[in-house]
Amino acid sequence: MVDRLVPIPTIRLSPSAIKKRIVIGNATKLDMKTKISSMPIITNRIDIDKLTEHEIDAIAMALILYTDITKNKVRIIKKAVTFD
């Protein structure tokens, strides 16, 4: 049973906005893969060559959110949730 519901904020970014945030300017799927492959925070944990283009896009979105949170552009409110 859920004790309290926690609202989950949504952030909408178009594919072109994501590409512009990761690779400056217009970017292809290969450009995205190359840029993410150059990030030790990712490549130390994940074999980029085994990922699909959709998984690379998901990593790009996660990196943008992580960057925005660490730069205080997004505020996360912690609330307790109890599950039985």
pLDDT at residue number 55: 92
Grade residue 81 by pLDDT with cuts at 50, 70 and 90. very low
Residue 82 CA neighbour count, 13 Å, CB half: 4
Contact 44, 36 (CB under 8 A): no
pLDDT tens by residue, 6-46: 666 667 778 888 888 888 778 888 998 999 899 898 889 88
CB atoms within 10 A of CB 72: 7
| Spatial CA neighbour of 33 closest among 58, 11, 70 | 58
pLDDT at residue number 26: 80
The domains of the chain are located at 19-70
pLDDT at residue number 66: 82
Residues contacting residue 13 through CB under 8 Å, at least 6 positions apart: 21, 61, 64
What's the pTM?
Answer: 0.68
